[in-house]
A and B are shown apart, each in its own frame.
Chain A
Amino acid sequence: MKKKHQPLLRNSGFQALIASLFCILLGLLIGYIVLLFINPNGAWKAITTVVKNFLYYPRPNKQLQYLGDTMVKTAPLLMCSLSILFAYKVGLFNIGAAGQYVMGAGASLYCALAWHMPWYICLLAAIVAGAFWGSLSGLLKAYCNVNEVISCIMLNWIGLYLINILLTTVKEVASPYTLELAGYSPGSMLPNLGLNTLFNNSKYVTIAIPLSILMAVFIWILLSKTKFGFELRATGLNKEAARYCGMKEKYNIIITMAISGALAGMGAALLFLTGFEKWSCTQSSVPAMGFNGIAAGFLGGLHPIGAIFSSYFIQHITNGGAYVDKTMFSAQISDLISAIIIYLCAFVFFLKQFFTGVANHREEKRAGKTNEKMGGEKQ
């Protein structure tokens, strides 16, 4: 098969990589400047701490263990970013990943703590709950033309309070947190298949990590190699053309939102079924995981494989922020730095457009010359 040379600037993989790296550097720089304003003495140390994360610990054992912790939280983030980029490829903005994540958390924890179901049933329950919640937005969009962003935001809140009510039945008496998973339903914990030994016997490292990476590969294959993905992407790129060639646009919207929701719901199960976190039944804001997924999706260039790395990176600096010297900076400073980088991630998209624009401009110049020779043809 012959492959013609394509301008490097136009290669979308290259564009995404450069743009993402640029955003990361710019984000760190701005974060550093903010730190300088607050306390010039500790700024450099703080920013290096954020970037180092688990390397903060001098002993390799500890390093491995905290690398494990970072990866435990990367798995759900990756699932949320897959959820968002999947919908985005079909032209839908699933800001409801957060709510679908909440539904997944509620369903998996309730199955585990109230019914002591085995882990795979809990996982399945989370997937179904997330898919159901996502398909509600899809149905509203397909049949009532309700903008999915609006319905998603509303469903986020409805989901949060529903799950708070549901999980109150399985919470500890003296605290707002749900019961200890390891104590009450050890069979519902995700198995680790010995993976924990790689990370200094970290309690929380389970099959969640490889499972999420497998899902990324699965989504990549689904989108790029199958008939189903062909249809979904065509619908996303040109809804009218998809309709013209007989694709079922409404069905595609609903199924996309359902799959997107299933991914987010599964993400929640991959975190809560490790026992790493417990659900607080009094929380009054939707977990940030779903929203961070938007940033991770964009930083990863909206590519499932890119999302693996971007999700890890975002989780890396979020965890790293926790080690910043609290005597010099307030506790929230870590959130601030990661937020700056996350917000800059949105620029990945603009940078990609910018690169394409440059490539187009060059091509137009060239085409202009050849057109003159050929007499020119109207577009």
Chain B
Amino acid sequence: MGETYAVEMLNITKRFPGIVANDDITLRLKKGEIHALLGENGAGKSTLMSVLFGLYQAEEGVIKKDGNVVQIRDPNDANDLGIGMVHQHFKLVDCFTVLDNIILGVEPCKLGFLQKKEAREKVVALSEKYGLFINPDMKIEEITVGMQQRTEILKMLYRDNEILIFDEPTAVLTPQEINELMKIMRNLAAEGKSILFISHKLAEIMAVSDRCTVLRKGKCVGTVNTAETSFEELSAMMVGRSVNFKVDKEDREPGDVILDIRNMTVASKSHKNNAVKNVSIKVRAGEIVCIAGIDGNGQTEFVHGLTGLEPLVSGQIFLNGEDITHDSIRQRSTGGISHIPEDRHKHGLVLDYSLEYNLVLQRYFESQFTNGIGFLRRGEIRKYADKLIEQYDIRSGEGPVTIARSMSGGNQQKAIVAREIDRDPDLLIAVQPTRGLDVGAIEYIHKQIVKQRDAGKGVLLVSLELDEVLDVSDRILVMYEGEIVGQLDAKNATAEELGLYMAGARREEIDQ
């Protein structure tokens, strides 16, 4: 027993159907340290924290608190052990005051009457001790995001939690607020609290943490002392050097400009800042341009703005030289834009429609499928569906009449890819086209994308997977906090270099 650990998670394994989310992960949190947990999306960070917080039960492994084995069955157990969490999306009651939110659930009562005065004194004392400036009487809806976060932190402190988990706390903050948060975290650690800090932003981890554990694809890559490591080492650990397979692709000279986006700005739905800020991008014929970046840096809003799902705050979009800024979604799609959407269940498919109906979802109104008086030509739809099913090898239980919901994820995605590619678009937008698919399906979809490019189409690929970014694309643009911060030639780019841009550690001015 050389060192004392506040919490130890030993050999944690957590499986979900078809995937091992945490594979034999060990994490030791020392008393009074700030311990960062780094990893890409889907690396298993959130699962691990959910196990610690009692939201999931691990199949294997033990959790120790102060050296003793503990069982954490639900968040209440976690609370009793002094483990508190600031979630990425705050859990506050908007129309309550800061004080009400802090005491919510542990209200001090005497004979059924609230004793707010005591609570208030404790909250004020805590906020002074740790430098957490709040006004206890303001309503949550009236205060800034930074102050809301401080309210969440005070909630944990009010409950005398010793172990504080911060789940991507900086995602919604401005740079000034981030600096403020860093200071608060150091104060908390100095006062003996132990902090687990989940992030994929390298700069923040380097700035604030004492040690860092890196996860990749559910496995623990290692734990390093932050003082002895570097950006390069961390990003290499995060993304891994190994590449599973190479996409066969010949060099091609890009042709005319197909898509020209000028100064596009799109508002965010989750916070008050714009999600996409003044982005200009050109895509040429026979070129795969990839928007790389960590999830939540504006890629979704960028694509929605481009396809017409969200209105632009400002900027212009040109397709083949024509201004389509004010065109409807339908006009853009018939004008030559195909879109493989990020969320195939939310946008890509009508899950309770049959496969054949889903295959004509973008074309059902064409005269091939609808006659002059508005009746569907069901025979034609069936014929077309049969053709696509054969050509793209979409497998399903009952062929064209299979309900899309009952198909496997890979075949659902193949159906979308078939539908979008077969429309012979000028521009193919593929967002996360291989998310959650197995290796075979990924390879297939990559081939189809490259085929489109070889046929002289413009392809805009948005991806979070570094392997995909490096293998498939010709030109890489990195999006960070709604801006394009770097442009790389895919042939010469390395994962390490890309990682630096993605984590916001490096940026350059791009002239498009």
- A-side interface residues toward B, CB under 8 Å? 1-2, 4, 6, 225-228, 230-231, 233-234, 237-238, 240-248, 363, 375-379
Residues A225 and B375 in contact in the complex (CB < 8 Å), given A243-B329, A244-B309, A244-B347: yes
Chain B, 312-337, CB within 8 A of any chain A CB = 328-334
B347:A240 contact, CB within 8 angstroms: yes
B409 touches A246 (CB 8 A): no
B283 to chain A, nearest CB (A): 20
Q: Which of B332, B401, B408 contacts A379 (CB 8 A)?
A: B408
Pairs A-B, 10 closest by C-beta atoms: A246-B330, A244-B347, A246-B329, A378-B18, A227-B370, A379-B409, A238-B350, A4-B398, A245-B361, A237-B352
Residues of B whose CB lies within 8 Å of any CB of A are 17-19, 307, 309, 328-334, 339, 341, 346-353, 357, 361-362, 364-365, 370, 374-376, 378, 382, 397-399, 401, 406, 408-410, 436-438, 441
Is there an interface contact between B18 and A234, defined as CB atoms closer than 8 Å?
A: no
* A244 (CB) vs chain B CBs: closest residue: B347
Which of B328, B341, B349, B350 is packed against the most chain A CB atoms within 10 Å? B350
Contacts of A378 in B (CB 8 A): 18-19, 409, 436-438
State the CA gap A248–B376 with chains docked (Å).
Answer: 18
A379 touches B18 (CB 8 A): yes
From B331, B350, B362, B374, contact of A226 by CB (8 A): B374
Most buried by B among A228, A240, A241, A248: A241
When C-beta atoms are compared, the residue in chain A nearest to B397 turns out to be: A4
Contact B18 A242 (CB under 8 A): no
Which partner residue on chain B sits nearest A249 by CB separation? B329
User: Is A244 in contact with B329, judged by CB distance below 8 angstroms?
Assistant: yes
Complex contacts, B374 vs chain A, CB 8 Å: 226-228
B18 and A376 form a contact (CB under 8 A): yes
Q: Is the CB of B18 within 8 A of A244?
A: no
- Taking a contact as CB atoms under 8 Å apart, the answer to whether B350 and A243 are in contact is no
Given A225-B376, A378-B436, A379-B18, answer yes or no on A245-B333 (Cβ-Cβ < 8 Å).
yes
A residues in contact with B364, CB < 8 Å: 227, 230-231
Is B408 within 8 A of A244, CB to CB?
Answer: no
- For A241, the chain B residues whose CB sits under 8 A away are 346-350, 361
A234 to B441, CA, bound (A): 27
A240 touches B346 (CB 8 A): yes
Q: A246-B330, A378-B437 are in contact. Are A238 and B351 (CB under 8 A)?
A: yes
Q: Once bound together, how far apart are the Cα atoms of A234 and B18, in whole Å? A: 31
Most chain B CB within a 10 A radius of its CB, from A6, A226, A379: A379
The answer to whether B437 touches A243 (Cβ under 8 A) is no
Most B Cβ at <10 Å: residue of A243, A246, A247: A246
Q: B341's contact among A230, A237, A244, A248, by CB below 8 Å, is which?
A: A244
**25 pairs, A vs B, C-beta closer than 8 Å:** A1-B382, A226-B374, A227-B364, A227-B370, A227-B375, A231-B364, A238-B346, A238-B351, A240-B347, A241-B349, A241-B361, A243-B329, A243-B347, A244-B341, A244-B347, A246-B333, A246-B362, A247-B330, A375-B438, A376-B18, A377-B18, A378-B19, A378-B436, A379-B17, A379-B18
**Chain B residues with CB below 8 A from A225, complex form:** 375-376, 378
A256 CB → nearest B CB, Å: 16
